[in-house]
Every structure is written in structure tokens, then in C-alpha cells.
Structure 1
């Protein structure tokens, strides 16, 4: 029996493909009234097709009590190789894991023409995966997830580039259909045709495209970082649940003739750092200034990291800050102001030793204060920053 966790735009047609192929399938979605543990009970194969790394961690953690020894989890969401490694550590040793994200959208999911990018030992699930489309066996665990992010790092920025091309053309009297016709004779032809008019059906949501580029963040990825910022702005403008081709409309807004839509505050919440409680964003970009919320030493489950140790907590905080900076193409050299809250000023020496490992250039403006307590018992410090971002 196969348990299929996730019945969104992609999961539902994929589960139907399995049923049509003669497999016994038990489907599960959030809010169904059935626990994830009950959904996977007795299943030899558990497939997850969920929105992001946080959702996968949440659902798989909830399913753990129902996973039987010898079962295999096939993770088909787009979550990146780091999240796959975290998932392997989360699962019991007697439960197998394969990462197998797919290339393709809703149409190929229904017709069984997706491309499956598989990492790990697929010998026990190859036939099942082939129901979705051709299976590319790419190597050890995590190889499929890494390949998916690598591919999206090229495909998504191209769509943003073409959206800007259309905006430039429109501002200078170039007919869009004529432009697409000219581009048809270039390697960009197929992508330009798809963007000729934004899709009314959400095949690949702008939110998911943004998430994929956020997962692909690495220092030096300037083109994908610029595309990611464009998509984050479109998401903040309320276009997240529409198809990614909607970025054409966003870029060609009222200010398109002067370089695109006016800058606005863009909230940033990276999948690679612990989720917020929904009442704040980890950072907000306003133009070329980044405001980073107070960062403290807790993990995605809300547990204190390095309890009782200023050194361990400071290391965790600065590592999280480093990820936020890298996402926006910045480093600690771009920090303009840093403010630190300590519950005991006697810990400032240990804190300073860690801080000097990360801030090695000209010191930023700085304030350090002692407070009686922080928002979570056991936290020893909290750090917030203002960053002058490099020009796009």
C-alpha cells in the first residue's frame, strides 16, 4: 500500500496516476481530520508532495509514530539537499529515504510525463516512480534535490529576465507578439512564447517559484538573487497564488517605463532558518536597506540551542544572520548597525569573541544593552541589524 501525503495542485493528479496504474493508494491532506501517523500506518511506501521544507518536516514528524520498519519515504517536494539531509536524520534508521523531486507542472502530472530526478537507492520504488514519467537516477541521497534546485536556478530567472524584456519593449513601442516572433529563432523562443500572456491557470505558483530561488541562495549568485527580489516583490504585492508568468504583469506595472514597479517593503522569511510565529518577518528589505529582526538561538521546533552557553548561542545567531545576508547578496561587511541584548553583561567577553569571528572589517555602529529577560526562558542574547545592501 502507498500512502500519498499532500493533495495540492501536483499531489492530487499524481495520486490519481498511481490509482490508474493499479496501486492501492491512501491519500492524505491537511485538515482532513486524519492524522499523518494514521495515514502512513501499514504503508510500505510513503510519498510526500508538500509545499516547502518546513511543511515536510512538520508532516513527517507527525507521521513518525505510524511509519513501520522497512518502509521507504519518497520525498518528491522541492526542498533542497540540506532539507533532505535533515529528513534523513529525522527518520529512524530502519526507514529508507529517496529524494525524487520532479520537473513539470500540473499538465505533465496528470499525463504522467513529469521528469523524476531521483537521489538514493530507488531499487524498491523505481516502478512506482516511473508511473509519473521518466526517472533520472542521479546518484546518492540528495542528488535529486540538488539537481532540481540547480535547474530551477536557471529556469526561473529566465522568466524574470523575459518579463523585464517585455517591459522594456512596451516602454519603447515594440509590439510584444513581434518580439516573441523574433525570439522564436533564439534559444529563448519557447520561454518567450509561454510568457506571451500570463496563464489564467496556476500551473506553477509565483510563491513556489520564489521559494525555489530562496532555496537556491548562495553567495555570488547575483542573477538569481536579482530575480528572487523581483519575485519577492510580486509576492508581497499579492500575486503569490497566481502562476509565475504573472511576473510579466508585475514588472510591466505603472513604473515599468522607469525600471519597474516602485520599491516597497519586502518581507523575507528563508526556508533555511527557523520559521517565525507569523507575527513578524525575519527581515524586511526596503530599497537597498535590509532590516533584520532580533535573532535568537532556537531551532525550528522552538527549542533553545546551546542552553547555558553564550558561545554556542552566539555562534547559532551569527550563522542564521549569515544566511539572511547571503540570501540578499550581502556579507557582514555590509552591516551598518548592530544591536545586542544580553541577559548578563558579564557574558559580553564570550559574545565578543564570537562576534569578532564574523565581523572582521570596519566595525559597524553598535549598541549593547543588558536586559532582565528575553522572550523565551533560557535565551542569553538577541541581535538585530540594519544592513546597507550592495546595489542590484
Structure 2
């Protein structure tokens, strides 16, 4: 009998293949209420396919009372060689251990075309492992886990690199199809994956794998990991790895200079968008010729300022309701009522965080007010 511990995206089709091949299989997953020691009782082979090393240790500790002497534990998760050797120390000496992580995702798991990277002696479990695909013997215990991480430390950063490459092309008017056609003729062509709505290899798992593979001085893996962790923090952890392209596009810094607002002097942008955050530079009451609007009139200048802010927000599909922070510089705090009367017509509903200060002067004589904002898009 085979006990299969873990019924996630990979575990379900792998266990099903064992059943279809004629093996008697007992499956276990969290939340069923079935004690794991009962699931492994009497099993000659125990397969673990879990999220990470901590999960494997937790489950196997609970399984220890039910493990049969002479059984073989086949660890197929991606946990790294150090964790494999820790498992060897955890398991009784009469229980064999093989590390056999796989290369491939859900579809190859369903089709039985995975590549199984086996470390340790596979003599007693080769027939079982061949149900999943091609078995590659890598060497002593831990070598399969090490090879898996070495491969992922190249594959996953390549996906991040390609995401950044396509984002650059898009930002400069290069159609994705054209760039993809050219890249396909290069060594990177084999790494190109089409964006997938179906999760074949979760972005969060990719981050975990690269985290395990990154070593001090591994600059490319470390940079890719930083990108993946950003995307995971943004809520993309359960999405397919190809969602990193969506994250990279959103995270690009874009200058925002709508033609409806008088041009800057070229030394700054009216706004900069980073991901879903818009940072708007201080706006003042100047017309397209650089002349002061409403000289000596705080209300008129405030109206011009909020008009410009509104146009910049609108260029990004936002309104004043999206403003999270507003900062105002006044040259005369005694004019705050005139300024406030205009502001209240634009800033309605829940007020944003706000700072208002008096300054001795602004950058152009005659200017009385300058306002900058931050908006969440």
C-alpha cells in the first residue's frame, strides 16, 4: 500500500496516476479529521508532496507512530538538501528515505510526464516513481533536492527577466507578439510562457523555491526573489507564476504630464505613477505662458490649482475621492479661509490625511498657494 500525504494541485493528479496504475493508495490532506498516523499505517511507501519543509516535518512527526519498519518515505516536495538531511535524522533508522522532487507542473503530473530527480537509493521504489514520469538518479540522499533548487534558481529568475523585458517593450511601443517572435529565436525562447489564468505553478511557491535556492552572492536570484515577494505581498501568491508580468507592468514608474495642464520646465514631472500609487507634484496658479493666475486673489489661485490637480488625476482614471494625502503651502495663513472654501468643493466625503503650512514665499513672485497630493488608484 502507498500512503500519499498532500492533496494540493500536484498531489491530486499524482495520487490518481498511482491508483490508475493499479496501486492501492491511501490519501491524506489537512482538514479531513483523519489522523496522519492512521493514513500511513501499513503502508510500504509513504509519499509527501507538501508546500514546504516545515509542513513536511510537521506531518511526518505526527506520522511517526504509524510508520512501519522497513517502509520507505519518498519526499517529493521542494524543500532543499538541508531539510532532507534533517528528515533523515528525524525518521527511525529502519525507515528508508528518498528525496525525489519533480520538474513539471499540473499538466505533466496528470499526463505522467514529470521528471523525477531522485536522491538516495531508488531500488525499492523505482516502479512507483516511474508512474509519474522519467526517473533521473542524481546520487546520494539530498542530491535530488539540490538539483531541483539549482534548476529553479535559473528557471524562475528567467521568468522575472522575461516579464521585465516584455514590460520594457510595451512601454516603448513594441508589440508583445513581435518581441516574442524575436526572443523565440534566442536561447531565452524556450523559457517564454504565455500568461495563464490557471495556476500551474503558483507564484508563492516559486518565491519559496528561489528563497531556498538563493545563496549569499547570488545576485540574480536575490533580485528575482525581491520581485516575487513584492508580487506575493500584492496578493498574487496563489496566481500562476506568469502573473509576475502583470505585477512588473503595474510596478513600472511612469511620468504623467497630461497635455491639459501647462507643461513643466522639463526638470520635473507633474506626477509619477508607481504601481497603483500616484504622486502629484506641487501645483500652482500659472497659465500656459507661465504667468500668474489671479494675482493677489487666494480663491482664484486655489481654483486654478485644484483644476490642474483634477486634470492630472483624471488622466489616470482617478478623482479627488482617490486622494489619500494632501499637502498645502500658503504664503499667508490669514488667507486659509479663502483657500479652504475652494478646497471643500473638491475634497468631499472622507477627508484625506492633510498637512498645511505657511511659507515665506514660493518659487515665483505672486504665487500664494501650492498643493501636492498622493492618490491610490
Q: TM-score, normalised by structure 2?
A: 0.67
For 2:247, the equivalent position in structure 1 comes to 250
What's the CA shift for 1:190? 2.7
Is the aligned partner of 1:214 residue 2:211?
yes
For 1:170, the equivalent position in structure 2 comes to 170
Summarize the Cα distance change of 1:122–1:261 in structure 2 as closer, same or farther, 3 Å threshold: farther
Contact 2:74 2:99 in 1 (8 A): yes
Distance 2:206 2:110 in 1: 20
Contact 2:153 2:214 in 1 (8 A): no
Which ranges in structure 1 are unaligned for 5 or more consecutive residues?
A: 265-392
For 1:235, the equivalent position in structure 2 comes to 232
Q: Deviations over 1:355-385 (max 9, x none)?
A: xxxxxxxxxxxxxxxxxxxxxxxxxxxxxxx
What's the CA shift for 1:255? 2.9
What's the CA shift for 1:217? 2.1
Distance 2:273 2:191 in 1: 20
Distance 1:256 1:113 in 2: 41
Distance 2:159 2:273 in 1: 15
Distance 1:159 1:170 in 2: 16
Equivalent residue of 2:32, what SS? Answer: coil
For 1:129, the equivalent position in structure 2 comes to 129
Q: Deviations over 1:22-44 (max 9, x none)?
A: 00000000011101100000000
Q: Considering only CA atoms, is the larger Rg found in Structure 1 or Structure 2?
A: 2
Distance 2:276 2:58 in 1: 34
**Misfit runs of 4+, over 4 Å:** 256-264
Q: Deviations over 1:108-154 (max 9, x none)?
A: 00000000000001000001000000000010000000000000000
Is the aligned partner of 1:39 residue 2:39?
yes
Summarize the Cα distance change of 1:22–1:220 in structure 2 as closer, same or farther, 3 Å threshold: same
Equivalent residue of 2:133, what SS? Answer: coil
For 1:184, the equivalent position in structure 2 comes to 184
Summarize the Cα distance change of 1:52–1:113 in structure 2 as closer, same or farther, 3 Å threshold: same
Summarize the Cα distance change of 1:155–1:124 in structure 2 as closer, same or farther, 3 Å threshold: same
What's the CA shift for 1:262? 5.4
Contact 1:253 1:260 in 2 (8 A): no
Moved more, 210-219 or 182-191: 182-191
For 1:142, the equivalent position in structure 2 comes to 142
Is the aligned partner of 1:116 residue 2:113?
no
Q: TM-score, normalised by structure 1?
A: 0.65
What's the CA shift for 1:176? 0.7
Summarize the Cα distance change of 1:88–1:263 in structure 2 as closer, same or farther, 3 Å threshold: farther
Distance 2:2 2:39 in 1: 10
Is the aligned partner of 1:56 residue 2:53?
no
For 2:200, the equivalent position in structure 1 comes to 203
Contact 1:45 1:72 in 2 (8 A): yes
For 2:154, the equivalent position in structure 1 comes to 154
Contact 2:250 2:275 in 1 (8 A): no
For 1:74, the equivalent position in structure 2 comes to 74
For 2:90, the equivalent position in structure 1 comes to 90
For 2:18, the equivalent position in structure 1 comes to 18
Distance 1:200 1:17 in 2: 25
Contact 1:3 1:45 in 2 (8 A): yes
What's the CA shift for 1:188? 1.1
Which ranges in structure 2 are unaligned for 5 or more consecutive residues?
A: 256-271, 278-377
Distance 1:111 1:260 in 2: 44
Equivalent residue of 1:138, what SS? Answer: strand
Equivalent residue of 2:250, what SS? Answer: coil
Distance 1:178 1:80 in 2: 39
For 2:269, the equivalent position in structure 1 comes to none
